[in-house]
Amino acid sequence: MGMKEILETFSYCGMKYEVLDAGEGWQAVVTEHGGHVFGPFSDACPDGIFWIPETVYDKEKYKELIDRKIWNIGGDRVWIAPEIEFNIRERARFRETLDTPKTIDPGSYEMTREEDRIHLKMSLDLVSRNTVAGNMHLDFHRMIHRAENPLRRLPSYEALMEGLSYCGIEEVISLAGTSAEDVLAESWDLLQIRPKGTLFIPMYEPMRGTDHYEPAGDHESVVENGIVLRITGDARYKIAYRSAVLTGRFGYLADTDTDASVLIIICYPNNPSAAYSEEPPLIEGDTGYSIHIYNDDGNSGGFAEMECNMPTIGRPAGIGRSEDRLTKWIFTGRTEKLKKVAKTLLGWKM
């Protein structure tokens, strides 16, 4: 099973897709439906790095997800935040009224290709319900292409990469919006990953996160230069971290039964001067979070999510348009070698 079978399922479901070169021997798949990025795939990782539900290997079951416009189809996606405004109808009943608008996912994307660059565009209208009541019209554009190895200019490049494989994806994300009210919006990237493993968030000043749902509890640990989270996929928590102490990078090292593993690093434009308007469901007015980590309890498939928000637009933010670069760096190979890369790019001391 692998990329070939997954693409057969996509075709069976009527999903338009494009295959993107993501590195030597690596390919990613971008779908027009939902604007999701799947993979990356290689001969050594035929099922891909990112999480995808097992139903993808059952054409009829996966087609049901697509036909019903269910968002939880795997891969990496970009939504519009804040969730507390656009996805939750009643703050006091946030669990019961959480419902992602179909205008966000799957949306109404138009996908085009320009050589090695894939473009996803759509326009949408959203209703803000809780902190601010109002409407916002948004124009969204996402350009996806291969990202160069971030280590390539280092004198130690050859030694660091010996025996490792690299692939990378960069996205240029543009968001423009208009509203007659004080509605805020921001691009919100959500990468579904496979448990189990360890996630590290480097910080200038280590600071525990703020729980959104059930407490992260002993899944979260404070270390010398950041936060370590255990990713398990069997106990639900969602926890957020304040942009003022973040570096703009965070990473995930998967557990393994062998001496080889996978390291995923996200580099995003953290800007503490931005509004970052997402709020914990039950703490009104508490904003400024640019990273959220979700750990599923198994009821939605047992995945986890590395989430980051782009700087905010809207009348109170003083800007009506943003353009940001977001990059995923992925390394595979011996775990001990991956730890050296993680120390170089994240300062992660394991």
Mean pLDDT of 26-35: 98
- Rg from Cα positions in the chain: 19
Rounded to a whole number, what is the distance in angstroms from the first to the last CA of the chain?
A: 34
pLDDT digits (tens, 9 = 90+) for 88-120: 999 999 989 999 999 999 999 999 999 999 999
Which of 253, 251, 231 has the alpha carbon at shortest distance from 297? 231
Structural domain includes residue 52: no
Domain residue limits at 177: 79-346
Report which of 303, 279, 332, 313 is spatially closest to residue 83, judged by C-alpha positions: 279
Find the Cα–Cα–Cα–Cα dihedral 316, 172, 203, 87, rounded to 10°.
Answer: 50
- The alpha carbon of residue 116 and the mean position of all alpha carbons in its chain are separated, in whole angstroms, by 22
List the Cα angle 192/198/203 in 5-degree steps: 95
> What confidence score (pLDDT) does residue 213 get?
87
Q: What percent of the chain has pLDDT over 70?
A: 100
Within-domain flag for 55 = no
In 3D space, the residue among 183, 36, 62, 34 whose CA is nearest the CA of residue 122 turns out to be: 34
Establish if 139 belongs to a structural domain: yes
Q: Look up the CATH number of the domain holding residue 136.
A: 2.70.98
Cβ of 218: how many Cβ atoms within 10 Å? 7
Residue 63 pLDDT exceeds 80: yes
> What is the SS3 assignment for 336?
helix
Residues in a beta bridge with 308: 189, 291
Is residue 34 assigned to a domain? no
pTM of the predicted model as reported, rounded to 2 decimal places: 0.97
Count of CA atoms in the C-beta half-sphere (13 A) of 160: 18
Which residue bears the tokens 């656009």?
A: 86
* Burial class of residue 263 in the structure, from the number of CB atoms within 10 Å of its CB (0-12 exposed, 13-18 middle, 19+ buried): buried
Total domains present in the chain: 1
Q: Would residue 2 be called left, alpha or beta, if left means φ above 0 and alpha means ψ between -120 and 50 degrees?
A: left
pLDDT tier for residue 147 given thresholds of 50, 70 and 90: very high
Cβ(24)–Cβ(44) below 8 Å: no
Spatial contact of 192 and 303, defined as CB atoms under 8 Å apart: yes
Residue 246 in domain: yes
Closest CA to 141 of 112, 167, 116: 112
Mean pLDDT in residue range 311-333: 96
Residue 127 lies in a domain: yes
d(CA 116, CA 146): 8
Which residues of 10-116 form beta strands (DSSP E)?
17-23, 26-31, 37-41, 76-81, 110-114
What mean pLDDT is predicted for residues 127-153? 97
Single-letter amino acid code for the residue at 139: D
CB 157 within 8 A of CB 183: no
Quick check: 140 pLDDT over 90? Answer: yes
Q: What is the pLDDT of residues 177-187, one digit of tens each?
A: 999 999 999 99
> Are the C-beta atoms of 34 and 68 separated by less than 8 Å?
no
Q: How many angstroms from the chain centroid is the CA of residue 112?
A: 22
Rounded CA gap, 177 and 129, in Å?
17
**Confidence at residue 310, expressed as pLDDT on a 0 to 100 scale:** 96
Evaluate whether 319 touches 174 at the Cβ level (below 8 Å).
Answer: no
Q: According to the model, what pLDDT value does residue 216 have?
A: 97
Q: How far apart are CA 278 and CA 91, in angstroms?
A: 13
Residue range 205-225: average pLDDT? 96
Q: Is residue 319 part of a domain?
A: yes
Supply the DSSP string of 268-290, one letter for each residue: ----TTS------TTSTT---EE
Mean pLDDT, rounded, for 256-282: 96
Q: Distance (Å, rounded) from C-alpha 144 to C-alpha 124?
A: 20
286 inside domain = yes
CA angle centred on 94, ends 88 and 96, rounded to 5°: 100
